Every structure is written in structure tokens, then in C-alpha cells.
Amino acid sequence: MKSIKMSPSGSEPEEHGYSVVDLLEQMPSVMLVITSALSFPSLPLLNGLFLKGELESGMSGGVCWEKFELSENDRVELKQIISEKYNIDFKSNPELESLNTYTEWVAKSLKYCRPEN
């Protein structure tokens, strides 16, 4: 998977060898839902997010990055990396996997979040 240019919101994205996982970890709300709902986002949803180039995170600030898209192979690799790093056994969830917008995905994912989180 390719390296990502990113920085805090309001700054020009810089190249420091960041990975897509590094970028997602700068988006606490996104990673919380991914790691709690146990269902990995669809490719259109991820690409819609990554093509925005910026995400505000409220009191956590925000992050901006150079816009990019993933291939399906990249998505599978990203899912595997997150699964191993966070010890998650992602489950198939057709309701969540069919969603293509971040807002709708977050709203519907919350009902599937693990109780220990």
C-alpha cells in the first residue's frame, strides 16, 4: 500500500512515510467505529472518505491529507492490517457493507458496536 501525505488540519500535507492505518488512527471517530462494530467499511465508503482530503475531529482537532483512492486489493490489505493490529475478527454484515456514505455508516454501525467498547 502506498505512503500517505498528511498533517493536522490547516497545514499542508507532508510526506513522512505515513500509512493508511496511520491516517485512520488520526480519525478517532472512524477508528472507533471500525474497531467496535466489527464490520469493515465498503470500498466506496472508504474512497469517499479518502477523496475528501480532510476530516475535522471536534476537540481532537482534525487531519488533512493528499486525496487518494484505494483499490479492492488495498482495502483487503488494510482490513488485514487493522484486524491483526487491533485483534479484531471482522464479521460480514450486509447491512453495513452496502453503505457508501460515512454519515449513514456511522449511524447504522453504532447498533453493532461491541459492548466492551
Instruction: Check: CB of residue 40 under 8 Å from CB of residue 34.
Output: yes
* Segments forming the whole domain that contains residue 66: 4-112
Written as nine digits, the cell of 74 is: 488495498
**pLDDT score, position 58:** 63
pLDDT, tens only, 6-61: 888 878 888 888 999 999 998 888 898 899 888 899 999 999 999 999 988 666 66
3-state secondary structure of 65: strand
Least confident of 1-10, 32-41, 91-100: 1-10
Residue 51 lies in a domain: yes
Instruction: Check: CB of residue 27 under 8 Å from CB of residue 57.
Output: yes
- Give the count of alpha carbons within 13 A of 20, CB side only: 21
Residue 117 lies in a domain: no
Residue 76 lies in a domain: yes
Nearest-angstrom CA–CA distance, 104 and 49: 12
- Structure confidence at residue 117 as a pLDDT band (50, 70, 90): very low
% pLDDT > 90, the chain: 43
Q: Is the pLDDT of residue 80 over 90?
A: yes
Q: How many domains does the chain have?
A: 1
